[in-house]
Amino acid sequence: MTPRTPGADLPEHPDFLWRNPEPKKSYDVVIVGGGGHGLATAHYLAKNHGITDVAVLEKGWLGGGNMARNTTLIRSNYLWDESAAIYEHALKLWEGLEDDLDYPILFSQRGVLNLAHTLQDVRDSVRRVEANKLNGVDAEWVSPDEVAKICPIVNTSADIRYPVLGATYQPRAGIAKHDYVAWGLARRADEAGIDLIQGCEVTGFTTDGDRVTGVQTNLGTIAAGKVALCAAGHTTVLTDMLGFRVPVQSHPLQALVSELLEPVHPTIVMSNAVHVYVSQAHKGELVMGAGVDSYNGYGQRGAFHVIERQMAAAVELFPVFARAHLLRTWGGIVDVSPDASPIVGHTPYENVYLNCGWGTGGFKATPGIGWCLADTIAHDTPHPYVAPFSLDRFVTGALVDEHGAAAVAH
């Protein structure tokens, strides 16, 4: 008998996958932000800890922020032990997430190539491969000929501006359908009795000493035993309401897709020197991205020259794309910390938990951070995977400087 596809008998349109309840007067836990991280935290609070008196507040629609605007790349080949641990934990959860949610997320492990174009790139890349191996992450160094075998359309000619000298390769990396991930998480959370409240914008907080007692919204004040902030690029708006600052800057991050094409690009290719990364989505469009816009802001759009440079870089690496047509572009708001690592854990308020600073790497961490933040909330102690990412590291100096592995935004 043909095995059943997870979620095959479910409606695709999200309106039918969960309730749209009115908020109650109080909850044990209120999660601010109905994107991937907020929904994953709610899911694992219910699944792992039996905590279901939970509300997820989303000012727009569920999964409509960065969750709907990222380029869906998933990998764990980060340099430092602390980063590799949380991202590898997330990747292992990704590998079983479709069965966990009983919903198709189209997780495709097609591998990722990080190209090296200079001798310093080579040295840094080989170092990262060896660090990955020590952390149990699948990683290898491949030659230009091997790059050409893995992805034949990459220009590996020796007489171009940035010749390919080799690449790191993580075979287990891949992509997933971001909307389906959000819908699957929301459906599971709703089944557990968690209230997912859309169109509910936080306008302030009610405090009593070093505790937050309520969340003020456009739908009224909601009393809360614990509060988790999962608002990505808008986190600083919330922390300003609470009267404390976090070292995070919000930048637009743009991406683009081409017209639909036949399958031509079998993996994910990233290049820091040329400054672009490219994959091909399930429907056939090429998905491209690069670095953040240099200015700060909350607008979900960016400057045209960033898009122009992305396309020029893509054509340099993939001459076969020269005649493809650009279909559309968009932007999200990423929250970038000084050391390019997230900020997770306790805040100056004893019952408020912070989850921000993921920058360009938030999507790939979705199930991992949901698992760890739920554990942190349930036990009021940072999970070991997120303990190194506490807010006080910017006081102690125990930074996790992940700029090398973050490189081009992805």
Same domain flag for 253 and 298: yes
Asked which of 318, 336, 354 is the last residue of a domain, the reply is: 336
Same domain flag for 325 and 350: no
**11: pLDDT strictly greater than 70:** no
* Cα atoms in the 13 Å half-sphere on the side-chain side of 324: 26
Looking at residue 72, what is its pLDDT?
Answer: 95
This prediction has a pTM of 0.94
Looking at residue 216, what is its pLDDT?
Answer: 99
Mean pLDDT lowest among 1-5, 74-78, 133-137, 380-384: 1-5
| Confidence band, pLDDT 50/70/90 cuts, at residue 2 | very low
**403: pLDDT strictly greater than 90:** no
Asked which of 307, 336, 365 is the last residue of a domain, the reply is: 336
Domain membership flag for residue 296: yes
Same domain flag for 167 and 254: yes
**Which pLDDT tens digit goes with each residue over 190-202?**
999 999 999 999 9
Q: How far apart are CA 75 and CA 95, in angstroms?
A: 11
| Confidence band, pLDDT 50/70/90 cuts, at residue 299 | confident
Looking at residue 9, what is its pLDDT?
Answer: 62
Looking at residue 311, what is its pLDDT?
Answer: 86
Same domain flag for 386 and 298: no
**78: pLDDT strictly greater than 90:** yes
Tell me which residue has tokens 């209120």: 30
Same domain flag for 142 and 264: yes
Looking at residue 12, what is its pLDDT?
Answer: 65
- Average pLDDT in the chain: 93
Closest CA to 336 of 272, 277, 253: 253
Looking at residue 121, what is its pLDDT?
Answer: 95
**405: pLDDT strictly greater than 60:** no
265: containing domain? 108-172+249-336
Asked which of 281, 301, 336 is the last residue of a domain, the reply is: 336
Q: How far apart are CA 202 and CA 350, in angstroms?
A: 19
DSSP 392: T
**231: pLDDT strictly greater than 60:** yes
| Confidence band, pLDDT 50/70/90 cuts, at residue 223 | very high
Between these two residues, 275 and 67, which has the higher pLDDT value?
A: 67
**347: pLDDT strictly greater than 70:** yes
**4: pLDDT strictly greater than 60:** no
Domain membership flag for residue 83: no
Same domain flag for 238 and 263: no
Closest CA to 365 of 346, 347, 383, 391: 383
**294: pLDDT strictly greater than 50:** yes
Same domain flag for 116 and 151: yes
**142: pLDDT strictly greater than 90:** yes
Looking at residue 407, what is its pLDDT?
Answer: 47
Torsion angle, alpha carbons of 178, 184, 189, 191, to 10: 160
Looking at residue 290, what is its pLDDT?
Answer: 82
Identify how many contiguous H helices and E strands the chain contains and give both numbers.
Answer: 10, 18
* Number of domains the chain contains: 2
Looking at residue 292, what is its pLDDT?
Answer: 83
Closest CA to 275 of 410, 123, 125: 410
Q: How far apart are CA 219 and CA 320, in angstroms?
A: 52
Q: How far apart are CA 306 and CA 14, in angstroms?
A: 33
Same domain flag for 260 and 402: no
Same domain flag for 164 and 254: yes
Looking at residue 197, what is its pLDDT?
Answer: 98
Q: How far apart are CA 261 and CA 281, in angstroms?
A: 10
Domain of 63, CATH number, reads 3.50.50.60
Intra-chain end-to-end CA distance of the chain, in Å? 40
Looking at residue 404, what is its pLDDT?
Answer: 54
Average pLDDT over residues 9-13: 62
Same domain flag for 319 and 347: no
**112: pLDDT strictly greater than 50:** yes
